[in-house]
């Protein structure tokens, strides 16, 4: 089952464990599209790891917030993100992996860009709440760059 999230999705979901994870994804998208680094950081565990699409590694919620604040003030100011949940796999009742697809559009000066990516979230349940503990974002290469010879 795939579910696409846009900003309007963030407030309409129930709270079973699977639905709670879908809700986190929707809240992430809403926070991104609002340029709200604090709201993004609030979705993460205190000691979370975040690897962005370029391979930079943020360790901890404060670092995740600061790096998102920086990109929302610069290259990704006014950008729009859309996520699709491809699958959620429960490793244990309190640990899950969410495989996502992302489509980001942005404007850098006079240049418009877009990035297609495959984020992966590892989430853990802390009490009654789910938090992102690891986020790995991988850019999808252009189709011409994905030949068998490149693997």
Backbone angle region of 112, left / alpha / beta, with phi > 0 → left and psi within -120 to 50 → alpha: beta
Question: Can you give the pLDDT at residue 78?
Answer: 93
- 62 belongs to a structural domain: yes
Number of domains in the chain: 1
Average pLDDT along the chain: 87
Please indicate, yes or no, if residue 147 is contained in any of the structural domains: no
Nearest to 131 by CA among 32, 24, 58, 44: 44
pLDDT tens, 64-87? Answer: 999 999 999 999 999 999 999 999
Task: Judge whether 19 and 98 are in contact, CB under 8 Å.
Answer: no
Task: Report the share of the chain in percent with pLDDT over 70.
Answer: 84
In a domain, 44, yes or no: yes
Mean pLDDT value across residues 57-67: 98
Say if residue 60's pLDDT is above 90: yes
Residue 86, domain extent? 3-141
Indicate whether 149 belongs to any domain.
Answer: no
Q: pLDDT tens digit string along 83-105?
A: 999 999 999 999 999 999 999 99
CATH of residue 11's domain is: 3.10.450.50
Q: Name every residue whose Cβ is closer than 8 Å to that of residue 42 and which is 6 or more positions away in sequence.
A: 61
């Amino acid at each position: 089952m795939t579910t696409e999230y846009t900003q309007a999705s963030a407030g309409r979901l129930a709270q079973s464990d699977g639905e709670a994870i879908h809700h986190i994804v929707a809240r992430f998208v809403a926070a991104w599209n609002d340029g709200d680094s604090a709201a993004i950081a609030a979705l993460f565990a205190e000691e979370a790891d975040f690897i962005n699409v370029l391979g930079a590694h943020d360790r901890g919620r404060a670092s995740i917030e600061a790096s998102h604040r920086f990109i929302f003030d610069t290259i990704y100011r006014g950008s729009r993100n859309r996520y699709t949940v491809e699958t959620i796999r429960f490793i244990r009742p309190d640990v899950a992996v969410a495989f996502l697809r992302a489509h980001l559009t942005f404007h850098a000066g006079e240049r418009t860009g877009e990035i297609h990516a495959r984020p992966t979230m590892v989430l853990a349940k802390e009490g009654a709440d789910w938090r992102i503990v690891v986020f790995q974002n991988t850019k999808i290469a252009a189709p011409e760059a994905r030949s068998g010879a490149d693997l």
